[in-house]
Structure 1
Amino acid sequence: MNTKVFIQPLVYASVFALLALPQALGEQDCHEDKVKFLEKCSWHIVPGFPYARPSPSNSCCKAVRKFDMTCICRIITHQDNADGHYVYRVSVDCNNPVPPGNKCGDWSIPGPPPPHNLQL
């Protein structure tokens, strides 16, 4: 038999396995949540404006508390007309903060400050 007959299905199976790997490893797809987040909270995350606006609306916070904000932060970009730092601030203001060490868009969430060693 022709070797090509055996290699071609093997190549297709390998490509499929590579594409399915993130799903198999449990990586969440939160694209729909990101779209809903952008609909509910767009006023608070637009780049170029100061964040010091009124607190996020009830509908925005209600949505934020339902979503995996770490996942949303991982996939949000400036193309979404969103400032990553502001997205993080909304997550904090709505009591669903993204943990330190993650990125929110292109903004890295800093860790907590080191403890102070006070000598008495």
Structure 2
Amino acid sequence: MGSINTRLVLAMAVIVGTLIFDNLQVAAQCGGSIPQLIAQCSQFVKIEGPKVPPSPGCCTAVKGADIPCVCGLVTREVEKIISMEKVVFVARKCGLTIKPGLKCGSYTVPPKRLT
């Protein structure tokens, strides 16, 4: 039940963030499906808990999105729910190159660690 509530809250946060930009087409221009990102990846980017490698379904959703564009939609409300550090972790685990210095909400992507 918590998972459904988390997804609902994330969906609402993204919608609110998009509405703050006052342009719903901005979200559509980011590629992929924001609802798919939420449905497939919310459990891997929530603030609580450790970093967990994403599922294949999450990676499919991530690879279909324009991450820098999606980062432009991140608001403070979204950052209260999801960990931007985990978002970068998930994207990199899915094989995406996330450039250091990219702003994702108020979070600035650090250089990739060699671990």
Tell me: CA distance 1:29–1:110, structure 2 relative to 1, closer, same or farther (3 Å).
Answer: same
Retained in 1: the 8 A contact 2:46–2:82? yes
TM-score normalised over the length of structure 1: 0.59
Retained in 1: the 8 A contact 2:41–2:54? yes
Seq. identity, % = 28
Q: Deviations over 1:28-53 (max 9, x none)?
A: 733873332111100000013221x2
Gaps of 5+ in 1: 1-18, 114-120
Q: In structure 1, what is the Cα distance between the partners aligned to 2:100 and 2:92? A: 11
Q: Which has the larger radius of gyration?
A: 1
**Match for residue 15 of structure 1?**
none
Letter paired with 2:91? S
Gaps of 5+ in 2: 1-21
Q: CA RMSD in A?
A: 3.1
Retained in 2: the 8 A contact 1:73–1:88? no
TM-score normalised over the length of structure 2: 0.61
Q: In structure 1, what is the Cα distance between the partners aligned to 2:84 and 2:67? A: 11
Q: In structure 1, what is the Cα distance between the partners aligned to 2:29 and 2:41? A: 20
Tell me: CA distance 1:99–1:71, structure 2 relative to 1, closer, same or farther (3 Å).
Answer: same
**Residue pairs, 1:64-75, within 5 angstroms:** 64-75=62-73
For this pair of structures, how many residues does the alignment match?
88
